[in-house]
Chain A
Amino acid sequence: MQKKLSLLNKLQLLSLIAICFVFIYQFIFVDWNFFEYAMYIRTPKLIAIIICSFCIGYASMIFQSIINNRIVTPSLLGMNSLYILIHTSLVFFVGLDNPLVLNKNLTFMIDVLLMAILTIVIYGFLFKKTRYNILYILLSGTVLGTLFSSISNTMIRVLDPNEYDTLLTELVAGFDHVNTDLIMISILLIVLVFVIFFRDLKILDVLSLGRTQTINLGVDYDKSILKLLLCVSFLITIATALVGPISFLGLIAANLTREIFKTYKHVYLMLGSFLVGLIVLLGGQILIEHIFGFSTQISALVNLFGGAYFLYLILKNKGV
């Protein structure tokens, strides 16, 4: 039955489910007496979730093709902890009440810029040094993630030892405090990214043949990898700035998508990954907000199932 569906059919089906979830999420248990207020609360969050799943879905798929592996995602390599570290350091070094920090859009732009530079430096170095040895990249990436979050944690504590928790929620977004101020600028940045990197995204299909064949087919490999890595860095920055870190979402979305589509065509894979991510997030959010009743954070659940899924993938493939 599944096999008879064409790629386009599958995409349409996923879109349909996603749209259903969007409506359920937006209108479930709405108190019609306070309809406008409910929409005022829910709409920005919904938009943030959509942007976040878009960014994570695309970034994970692109990243997996860059390093030609299905189990690695940028979040697993600590990229979102890197963003949080950059943001915290910025606040740490210029001060909490600096006009620079008070202007959220400006701070965001600086974060994006620093993030791009550091991503290239750190992960470029990591790839080169390990010669694309996935295991080493993955392990040092996860440990780098702990390092980054330990440093940013320390900075937050040093910044204000008494108000640690308040400061943490202020500096690091989460699903219960989505950074709605950044929605406009995020959308702008996404459009910009796709205009700039449109041509590079086209080589993703070839990239899945491996380095040798990519060069053989006339792609300037090193330059393209660099550009795609930049693209990933922008997308991860946006996602983390809006809703905070969700480590395993990319892994779940990307791998489920590959299972569903069974193709190498990135147009489908990337869109699919976005939709699957959206369905997972909205589904989780509906469960949590309306069934569990708010106390659990969705990131905890995503990590729980994502980690288990990772172990399952390793067990199934007998390796990475």
Chain B
Amino acid sequence: MKKNYLFTVSIIVAILILSAVSIFVGAFDVSLSGILSGDYKQLIILLNSRLPRVFAALCVGSGMSVAGLIMQNLCMNKFVSPTTGATISSAQLGIVISMLMLPGASLATRSTFSFIFSILGTWLFVWFIQKIQIKDVVMVPLIGIMFNSVIGGLVSYIAYENDLTQILSNLLVGDFSLILAGRYEIVFLILPLLIISFIYSNYFNIVGMGENFSNNLGVNYKFIMFLGLSITAIITASVVVTVGTISYIGLIIPNIVSMYKGDKIRKSLLDVALFGAMFVLLCDLIGRIVIRPFELPIELISGIIGSVIFIVMLFARLNHGRRLNKKGVSHAKKIISPK
């Protein structure tokens, strides 16, 4: 118990340090003394660019991680996430279609389209994987990636045909450099969603055990499933609308945390959120430091780190499965594979 507490506290400390560094790193010098002495220029930069950037990173990191956590529980599969489900690409599709149908659409309109599409896309994906009785756990992410490729192909097609390629590259490669006060506040929508997730966390756990199990405990399976997937989709969409696509965070963070904390969502949700926020802050910092004064988009950094961790996870699972099979126990498989 005490050890768990320590984990949480050390992450919070790390987040505070990283946020401070993040505020003072950039093309324009901002210093503590400058701000305190009331330097107008420095204050403007701080309020319009640096602080929004830190807030956005915190929201995006915690949101994407929790979205992944919920999705993994509801689908009973550790390899599912907005990236390896159809959620991210559906959110992109929503944005592209809103721009196609209503040129010059406001951020709010775009977000609404994105929400609707990502909810529908996620539902379609979950329906598909439940429909083809899947034999192996890793089949699900594979199908998810293919879904992404199909929807992604559609997105690029629409973008190319309608001269939206500039928007396309912003959409596909997540980047914090465009975050400015007044243009990113949609990500704060993530905060109430995190709170709702926390309140319903026990329900998500129960629904993750299966339809019969939930009915037995008097939990409305369909409603909770709908709620959980919708929360995931809205979080993802609000990230895509403001920063663009960020892959793998929802996939790896919950897995890393669950190694320490186990799979009880109520116990791990806070840590997942904090750890995700820290990870995104860190990736963003790396991206800003490597080729100063230029920036690397966060999507590249998280793509590299994330895919490496994902492959490591995959091989760990392979060895793990083999060991279990040798013992004649396929218990783990029963737990994580959908029925």
Contact = CB atoms under 8 A, between A and B. Distances in A.
Contacts of A311: 128, 143, 146-147, 150
Contact of A135 (B138, B297, B315): B138
B142 A296 contact: no
A9 B288 CA distance: 61
Given A147-B304, A161-B291, A307-B153, A319 B135 contact: yes
B177 to A, nearest CB: 11
A98 interface: no
Interface of B: 79, 128, 132-136, 138-139, 141-143, 145-147, 149-150, 152-154, 156-157, 160-161, 163, 173, 247, 290-291, 294-297, 299-301, 303-304, 307-308, 310-311, 314-315, 318
A41 to B, nearest CB: 21
A139 B290 CA distance: 30
A217 interface: no
B314 A307 contact: no
Contacts of A310: 146, 149
B161 A292 contact: yes
Contacts of A135: 136, 138-139, 142
Contacts of B133: 318
B138 A136 contact: yes
B303 A303 contact: no
26 contacts: A133-B318, A135-B136, A139-B141, A140-B311, A140-B315, A144-B307, A144-B311, A154-B301, A157-B291, A157-B294, A158-B290, A158-B291, A161-B291, A161-B294, A248-B149, A295-B160, A300-B153, A300-B156, A300-B160, A301-B153, A303-B149, A306-B149, A311-B146, A318-B132, A320-B139, A320-B142
A143 to B, nearest CB: 5
A157 B139 CA distance: 34
Contacts, number: 116
Interface in A288-318: 292, 295-297, 300-301, 303-308, 310-311, 314-315, 318
Contacts of B136: 135, 319
A143 B311 contact: yes
What bracket does the count of chain A residues touching chain B fall in?
Answer: 35 or more
Contacts of B291: 157-158, 161
Top 3 A-B pairs ranked by shortest CB distance? A304-B153, A150-B303, A161-B294
B318 A129 contact: yes
B304 A150 contact: yes
Nearest to A138: B142
Contact of A297 (B160, B294, B304): B160
A315 B303 CA distance: 29
A292 B154 CA distance: 15
A209 B231 CA distance: 48
A142 B145 contact: yes
A151 B304 contact: yes
B157 to A, nearest CB: 5
A292 B158 CA distance: 12
A300 B164 CA distance: 14
A306 B134 CA distance: 21
A153 interface: yes
Contacts of B141: 139
Given A130-B318, A135-B139, A147-B307, A300 B157 contact: yes
B89 to A, nearest CB: 10
B143 to A, nearest CB: 6
A311 B132 CA distance: 11
B303 A146 contact: yes
A255 interface: no
Interface in A97-135: 129-130, 133, 135
A296 B159 CA distance: 9
B259 to A, nearest CB: 19
Contacts of A150: 299-300, 303-304, 307
Given A150-B300, A307-B150, A310-B146, A315 B138 contact: no
Contacts of A157: 291, 294, 296-297, 300
Given A300-B157, A310-B149, A320-B139, 10 more contacts: A133-B318, A136-B314, A140-B311, A147-B307, A150-B299, A153-B300, A301-B153, A304-B153, A310-B146, A318-B133
A299 B300 CA distance: 22
Contacts of B139: 135, 314, 319-320
Given A129-B315, A150-B300, A157-B291, A301 B149 contact: no
A304 B158 CA distance: 12
B153 A303 contact: yes
A247 interface: yes
Contacts of A297: 156, 160
Contacts of A151: 304
Contacts of A303: 149-150, 152-153
B175 to A, nearest CB: 11
Interface in A132-176: 133, 135-136, 138-140, 142-144, 146-147, 150-151, 153-154, 157-158, 161-162
B153 A143 contact: no
Contacts of B150: 303-304, 307-308, 311
A139 B303 contact: no
**Residue among B128, B139, B153, B290 with the most chain A CB within 10 A?**
B153
Contacts of A130: 318
Contacts of A162: 294
Nearest to B301: A154
B247 A146 contact: yes
